[in-house]
Amino acid sequence: MKQFFKENKNQIILYSLVAVIGVAAYFLFLKFDSFQGAFRFLISIFTPFIIGFAIAYLLNPLMKLVETKVLCWIKSKKYPERYQKVRRMISILVTYVLTLGVLICLTVLLIPQITTSVETLFKNIPLYIRVFSANVSKWMQQYHLDANFLDRLLPYDTMTEYATALLNACFGWLVNVPALLTTGFTNTIVGLIVSIYFLYDKEKFFRNIRTTLYALCKPLTAAKAVNITNMANKTFSRFILGKIIDSAIIGVIAFPFMLMIYRPYALLISVIIGITNVIPFFGPFIGAIPSALLILIVAPERFIWFIIFVFVLQQFDGNILGPKILGDTTGLSPIWVLVGIMAGSKLLGFVGMIVGVPLTAVLYLLFKAYVERRYQEKYENESDSCPTN
């Protein structure tokens, strides 16, 4: 029997691989509902750990800054490990206090005003549509245009229905912020606890993963996996944290200008511009279109000023602020950025639109390195026949 397995090792591996792929295809295509249910069940189990890892990943740079720059004086030559643990615990405490303080301040200051603005907006939509229709009618009469064309172009009932639906889709989540905060409360609390353990024992955690890799894989394979992980971490951390900082600055810059353009919904529009700016490429359009529609309906005389402001703001972000904060963190061409955003949005929705770009960048760099290595292997001894164009 051992001789049989030894002689037919390759065939057995091939047939086993085909069988595994066949079973996987069966569950994916013929039993998709069952597979999807099982996948969701697994995700629900690991959701607190995913949340905890995400929180720890986002807070790690701040904790490192506090630990290495602010609390660097907490050390001892006699008891280095003991003081290191004390410094780590204090750093984690300071990081969470600062973060929670900022979130509480933002919640207390922004959420009530935004909720009030959204509720007022929904209540006044019919009035805004009526006034907007009256203004357009006046313009049509002023320029001697066909009134019947106006009725076909701007049917009041249809416009009210569409505007309500669009604004509800764009802004409705703001009204439900309290409900969103209470949904998954248990997962969030457990995730916070898990994040503390991740931050406290992160070196031990990654050391165990590294040891496991080297124990189960060949040294070269394990080393490649470690290098890929380091590259992915660098790409993701620089891109996501940089995007968050960049979008926060854009939202803050937008607020005083929106006060000059249209005060009643200045905060609401500034928050929308800042949040949607996190999404690469499409973010500015996603935030500008509903905001421009709102300005057009409630204050059409300020519409052109708003368009000019958004254009200037996005040029400033795309050419000055964004490159200054992010640099060339992905190295992707626009077409690959689009691919990452579209694929990410299909798989993970809003979150996928954000993480899709750095994930695509990592895959692109890996594929590029593989192609370059194969190219060199193929033509290193055939320089004369190597194509140059």
345-378 tens-digit pLDDT = 777 776 777 787 888 888 888 888 888 887 787 7
Which of 321, 318, 262 minimizes the C-alpha distance to 292?
262
Asked if 140 and 150 count as a contact pair (C-beta separation under 8 A), the reply is: yes
pLDDT tops 60 at residue 324: yes
Q: Give the other-Cβ count within 10 Å of 30's Cβ.
A: 10
pLDDT tops 80 at residue 178: no
Please report the pLDDT score of residue 285 as a whole number: 79
Q: CA 233: distance to chain centroid? A: 15
Asked if 150 and 137 count as a contact pair (C-beta separation under 8 A), the reply is: yes
Say which range, 171-185, 229-243, 248-262, has the weakest mean pLDDT.
171-185
pLDDT tops 60 at residue 171: no
Please report the pLDDT score of residue 95 as a whole number: 92
**227 to 29, 56, 149: CA distances (angstroms):** 35, 21, 64
Give the whole-number percent of the chain exceeding pLDDT 70: 71
State the Cα–Cα distance between residues 282 and 279, nearest whole angstrom: 6
- Give the dihedral of Cα atoms 112, 114, 116, 118; nearest 10 deg: -150
Please report the pLDDT score of residue 177 as a whole number: 47
Please report the pLDDT score of residue 328 as a whole number: 62
Say which range, 59-63, 122-126, 242-246, 370-374, has the weakest mean pLDDT.
122-126
pLDDT tops 70 at residue 258: yes
pLDDT tops 90 at residue 97: yes
Which of 177, 195, 257 minimizes the C-alpha distance to 49?
195
> Could you give the angle at which helices 283-298 and 156-175 cross, rounded to 10 degrees?
130
Asked if 10 and 3 count as a contact pair (C-beta separation under 8 A), the reply is: no
Most confident of 23-37, 172-186, 261-275: 261-275
Asked if 341 and 356 count as a contact pair (C-beta separation under 8 A), the reply is: yes
Average pLDDT score over the chain: 76
Helix, strand, coil tally for the chain in percent (to 5): 85, 0, 15
Average pLDDT over residues 63-81: 82
Average pLDDT over residues 106-115: 77
Average pLDDT over residues 324-346: 72
Digit-coded pLDDT (tens) for 137-170: 776 666 665 555 555 555 555 655 655 565 555 5
